[in-house]
Amino acid sequence: MDRNELKNILPHREPMLLVDEAYVSDDNIAHGSYIVKGDEYFLQGHFPNNPIVPGVIQCEMAAQTCCVLLGEKISGCTPLFSGMNKVKFKTVVKPGDTINFECSLIREMPPFYFAECKGIVNGKICVSGEFSFALIKN
């Protein structure tokens, strides 16, 4: 799915749509990616002359990739973060990098969904963690 197709699943819009493309593989793992261009709002001032993607933005990118796993369940709902556990940041993400995410559901208790995810840049994990979401009807 490209950004336009993702808008059929995710309620996010620019500038908060933080996944460029995504798909769910046959083994039910969501794969998503984002190319850091360098002009993003979240790089302004983080940090001058040394832009680094904030950890909280990396978590949001991971969460949006996770939501692709929920597909049509999101229809008529807003997915809200309900928790983050065991989140670790291992390497910095800079302009020009492509972050690739791999996310899988580990438990469902509707309206709550639990997933684990990792983000990878140049073959190295930059972020990993467990995320939980609540699907709240609009």
| pLDDT band per the 50, 70, 90 thresholds, residue 44 | very high
* Residues contacting 49, CB < 8 A, separation 6+: none
Tell me the β-bridge partners of 80.
134
Flag whether pLDDT at 61 surpasses 90.
yes
Full set of structural domains in the chain with CATH: 3-137 (3.10.129.10)
| Coil/strand/helix, residue 49 | coil
CA atoms within 13 A of residue 104's CA, in its CB half-sphere: 6
Task: Please tell me the predicted confidence (pLDDT) of residue 34.
Answer: 98
| pLDDT band per the 50, 70, 90 thresholds, residue 135 | very high
Task: Please tell me the predicted confidence (pLDDT) of residue 72.
Answer: 86
Residues 82-119: tens digit of each pLDDT = 999 999 999 999 999 999 999 999 999 999 999 999 99
* pTM above threshold 0.85: yes
| pLDDT band per the 50, 70, 90 thresholds, residue 45 | very high
Which of 46, 73, 94, 118 is flagged as catalytic?
46
Task: Please tell me the predicted confidence (pLDDT) of residue 21.
Answer: 98
Is 12 part of the annotated catalytic residue set? no
